[in-house]
Amino acid sequence: MPELARLDAGHEPALLRFERENRAYFTRFISDRGDDYFAEFAARHAALLAEQAAGEHHLHVLIDDDGTVLGRFNLVNIADGTAELGFRVAERVAGRGVATAAVAQICDLARDTYGLQRLVAIAALTNTGSLTVLRRNDFIPAGELQFMGKPCLRHVRTLMGVAAPAR
């Protein structure tokens, strides 16, 4: 059973493998991160961990039983009880409810562990999978915008009260 874990230094090799193996898949929905992202991955990973230690982000990976990274689920740009949610899952598990379940867990963590009150997420209008995950986790559409050159839909979820179960 996949487990959501807070990102740490030991995840670096598996996370890099996840990003490389799914690069072409991810670029169907978002802009490619470029070759420099992969060439400088170790430094970027260390910088993210430092930002997490400073309380700027809460970064997570979804790990399969064999140690394979199946997804990333991140709460970034934390300020005034609000964070931006970003997530991506491996192509081989897309459409199987993995992202929906992990986003539900992240929403609970955001509220119960990190004390956040609101999450904001952006998904490309062409990314029906992510739009479905957000809808199933009670995110409310809050307007269209352009993000990285693509038309997107901004979503908001208030985290006060009892967590809503993923559907």
Q: 107: domain range?
A: 3-158
**DSSP labels, 94-150:** TTTTHHHHHHHHHHHHHHHTS---EEEEEEETT-HHHHHHHHHTT-EEEEEEEETTE
Q: Is the residue at 165 inside a domain?
A: no
Of 55, 47, 92, 43, nearest in space to 71 by CA: 92
* Domain annotation covers residue 166: no
Q: Mean pLDDT over residues 7-16, rounded?
A: 97
**Could you read off the pLDDT of 69-128 as tens digits, one per residue?**
999 999 999 999 999 999 999 999 999 999 999 999 999 999 999 999 999 999 999 999
In angstroms, rounded to a whole number, what is the distance separating the alpha carbons of residues 33 and 13?
18
State percent of the chain over pLDDT 90. Answer: 85
- Give the model's pLDDT for residue 161: 60
CA-CA-CA-CA torsion sign (94, 152, 57, 14): positive
Q: Classify residue 87: in a domain, yes or no.
A: yes
Count the domains in the chain.
1
pTM of the model: 0.91
In a domain, 164, yes or no: no
* Domain containing residue 37: CATH number: 3.40.630.30
- DSSP 8-class letter at 66: T
Report yes or no on 58 lying in a domain.
yes
Q: Which of 5, 15, 104 is nearest to 59 (CA)?
A: 5
Element (H, E) at 151: strand 150-158
CA distances from 84 to 67, 80, 110 (A): 26, 12, 11
pLDDT tops 70 at residue 3: yes
Whether residue 167 is contained in a domain is answered as no
Please report whether residue 108 resides in a domain.
Answer: yes
What is the predicted pLDDT for the residue at 29?
82
59-68 tens-digit pLDDT: 999 999 999 9
Quote the pLDDT of residue 71: 97
